[in-house]
Amino acid sequence: MTSPQYNLNYKYGADLREIPEDPASMQAYVDLLLNELKKLTAEQPRLSVKFLGEVGSYARMLGKTEAAHHALEKSLTLIDQHDMGLPLWGVHSLRYGEVMRAKKDELAAETAFHSVLEMSLRHPEIRELEDFALQHLGKLRFSQKKFKEAEDLFRQALAIRKKKAIPELIQSTELALRVLLMTKDRQK
């Protein structure tokens, strides 16, 4: 459904939060998703979850944390009600944690990230989310100015990502480490 007419690209700011390249285009895509959601029936829970997850992510990037929170709570409820499995639960829980971090609800963010990390260590079907949970926990620690913990978490994520050999993931974690180290240096 994504078409080239929507620019959903973003960059990272000094606070390790995403900044949309074209907020108006991203908002137009969110509006499209919200309209599509209205057309869906109860027999289409997977598509609803997909759209709600995207609305939650992009609304957060746009600074609309209440809309993001609502969308992700609803997606997590549908995932649970329809027993859609741990991988989907994990991805949406990480998105939910980022919304809670943006809302400055650190306990809820930490709970979400730790839940995914713990489940990824116990359930092979979501092992691939371990590095994501570590990275998100690192971002939370960074925003709490707990730089040593953040660095440790980023380094753990980076080690896993180097084994995965996915350049975009490696670059993301290396960027987080660079921002962290520059921030630490400025605070000395």
Residue of 81, 179, 177, 186 lying closest to 135 (CA atoms): 177
Other Cβ atoms closer than 10 A to 183: 16
What mean pLDDT do residues 88-102 have?
A: 98
Q: SS3 letters for 67-85?
A: HHHHHHHHHHHHHHHCCCC
Mean predicted lDDT score pLDDT of the chain? 95
Stretch 67-95: mean pLDDT: 97
> Is residue 137 over pLDDT 90?
yes
Burial (CB < 10 A; 0-12, 13-18, 19+), residue 70, is middle
Q: Where are the alpha helices (DSSP H) in the chain?
A: 23-39, 45-61, 65-81, 86-102, 106-122, 130-143, 147-164, 167-186
> What pLDDT, on the 0 to 100 scale, is given for residue 184?
86
Residue 186 has pLDDT above 90, yes or no: no
Report how far residue 116's alpha carbon sits from residue 122's, in angstroms, rounded to the nearest whole number. 10
Structure tokens at 67: 């809309």
Examine the pLDDT at 92 and tell me if it is beyond 80: yes
Q: How far apart are CA 167 and CA 182, in angstroms?
A: 22
pLDDT at 185: 83
Q: Is the pLDDT higher at 107 or at 1?
A: 107
Please, what are the domains in the chain?
A: 10-186 (1.25.40.10)
- Comparing CA positions, the residue from 53, 54, 61 lying closest to residue 77 is 53
Averaged pLDDT for residues 109-135: 97
Q: Does position 4 have pLDDT exceeding 70, yes or no?
A: no
Alpha-carbon distance of 139 to 94, in angstroms, equals 12
Tokens representing 165?
């050999």
The predicted pLDDT at position 1 comes to: 54
Mean pLDDT value across residues 32-59: 95
